């Protein structure tokens, strides 16, 4: 959530940067400034009445001590007027603050000045490509056919149990899932991330804190009887560990990682681009989260991108890094890099990770601050990234490594799988 003070002091810059995100309601900026004007004016009136009431109370006390009871009672009768005025202004202030909050949450985060302009994924900028595109045999199969051929993933059985988008992993398919999770967690630990095991359901306050609510409630599974949400990513519970917390500056950076299943209702389109593992309602993912000093966050973003790339390199997957344009960025992000892997049988790039800097957008909602030894508390910066999401990694591993002998497991994973081939 943007800070009102920043919006007031930087109106033109805010409007210009929102235009990079193709924001369709720029009039909200002036509405927010107007509401803040009303809030300030009402608060001033309330403070003035409170000052008059306090002065009156002191005068009454002085008169009573002087034995001038009649005069004191005369002034005391006026105190009811102060009470009525205070209640009226307090109610007005509360109403304005609610309206102001409701307007503020409709503004997305401002894109960083380095974010390229654009409206669609086609406008994203390829920052780099790495790895050699594999040349497959002529009878190469897409991963959903390989899954059936080697009996490692059963999409129909998952559909029977829960519905489309909930596959069942079997045998070496299940072991490959577990191997990837352990591999990603071990690598994160080596990179200095502290492993957490958070809940996989969150309340409304947590959803609001990281920006899923009120923006993405339609994409989340809601447990109505308890008013809880299945998490779309471990970012939500892990970042919320620090909601309403004031950290010490020397505690920064905080680096956490977590494995969780993730749940998203977004699937709904049809065609080869969403077949098999390309888009699921439930999937496994290891997430990395950092809370850092504002001066360090953009270097940390680059470091997190490099770290995720190191995982893809270890898995021998050809990949590219995209700097997302304003129109393709998430609501809460100030800058995002997407990592895509080449899926050879489908002959297309598949997104497997997003690494984002949210600057103070989440921390303002979370009231996540840090305090230096000399200064007052200030908002920290938060970042997160997928490191990594499993479904499309598995899809690319199966497709890219298929041979006449079977599917080859990358050397880095063999100590985790216990086998070199799926055949």
Binding-site residues for ATP? 264-266, 351-354
At residue 345, what are phi and psi to the nearest 5 degrees?
A: -70, -30
Question: How big, in percent rounded to 5, are the helix, strand and coil portions of the chain?
Answer: 45, 20, 35
Q: Which residues are annotated as a binding site for L-serine?
A: 233, 264, 287, 384
Name 336's bridge partners: 356
Q: Which residues are annotated as a binding site?
A: 233, 264-266, 287, 351-354, 384
How many other C-beta atoms can be found within 10 angstroms of the C-beta atom of residue 221? 15
Asked if residue 336 lies in contact with residue 358, where contact means CB atoms within 8 angstroms, the answer is: no
Comparing CA positions, the residue from 314, 362, 304, 295 lying closest to residue 338 is 304
Helices vs. strands in the chain: H and E counts, helices first = 14, 18
Asked if residue 394 lies in contact with residue 407, where contact means CB atoms within 8 angstroms, the answer is: no
Pairing relationship of beta strands 228-230 and 201-202 according to DSSP bridges:
antiparallel
Residue 47, burial from CB neighbour count under 10 angstroms (0-12, 13-18, 19+): exposed
78/80 Cα distance (integer angstroms): 5
Residues in the chain, total: 423
- Quote the DSSP letter at residue 356: E
How many other C-beta atoms can be found within 10 angstroms of the C-beta atom of residue 195? 13
């Amino acid at each position: 959530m943007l800070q009102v003070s920043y919006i007031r002091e930087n109106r033109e810059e805010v409007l210009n940067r929102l235009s990079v995100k193709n924001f369709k309601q720029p009039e909200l900026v002036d509405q927010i400034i107007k509401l803040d004007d009303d809030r300030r004016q009402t608060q001033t009136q309330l403070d003035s009445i409170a000052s008059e009431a306090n002065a009156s109370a002191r005068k009454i006390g002085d008169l009573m001590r002087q034995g001038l009871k009649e005069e004191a009672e005369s002034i005391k009768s006026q105190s009811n007027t102060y009470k009525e005025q205070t209640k009226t202004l307090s109610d007005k202030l509360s109403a304005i603050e609610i309206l102001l909050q409701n307007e503020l949450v409709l503004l997305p985060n401002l894109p960083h000045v380095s974010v390229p302009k654009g409206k669609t994924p086609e406008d994203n900028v390829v920052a780099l490509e790495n790895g050699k595109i594999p040349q497959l045999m002529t009878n190469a199969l897409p991963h959903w056919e390989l899954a059936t051929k080697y009996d490692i993933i059963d999409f129909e059985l998952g559909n029977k149990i829960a519905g489309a988008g909930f596959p069942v992993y079997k045998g070496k398919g299940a072991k490959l899932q577990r191997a990837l999770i352990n591999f990603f967690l071990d690598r994160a630990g080596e990179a200095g991330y502290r492993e957490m095991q958070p809940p996989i359901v969150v309340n409304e306050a947590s959803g609001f804190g990281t920006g899923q609510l009120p923006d993405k409630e339609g994409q989340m599974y809601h447990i109505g009887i308890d008013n809880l949400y299945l998490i779309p990513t471990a970012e939500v519970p892990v970042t919320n560990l620090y909601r309403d917390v004031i950290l010490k500056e020397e505690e920064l950076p905080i680096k956490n990682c977590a494995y969780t299943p993730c749940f998203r209702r977004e699937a709904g389109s049809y065609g080869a681009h969403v077949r098999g593992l390309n888009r699921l309602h439930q999937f496994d993912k290891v997430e990395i989260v950092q809370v850092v000093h504002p001066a360090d966050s953009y270097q940390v973003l680059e470091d997190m991108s490099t770290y995720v790339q190191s995982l893809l390199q270890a898995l021998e997957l050809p990949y590219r890094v995209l700097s997302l344009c304003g129109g393709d960025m998430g609501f809460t992000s100030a800058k995002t890099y997407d990592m895509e892997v080449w899926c050879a049988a489908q002959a297309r790039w598949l997104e497997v990770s997003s690494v984002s800097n949210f600057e103070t957008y989440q921390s303002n909602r979370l009231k996540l601050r840090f305090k230096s030894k000399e200064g007052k508390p200030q908002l920290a910066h938060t970042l997160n990234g997928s490191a990594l999401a499993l479904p499309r990694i598995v899809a690319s591993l199966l497709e890219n490594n298929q041979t006449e002998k079977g599917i080859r497991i990358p050397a880095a994973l063999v100590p985790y799988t216990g086998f070199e081939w799926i055949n």
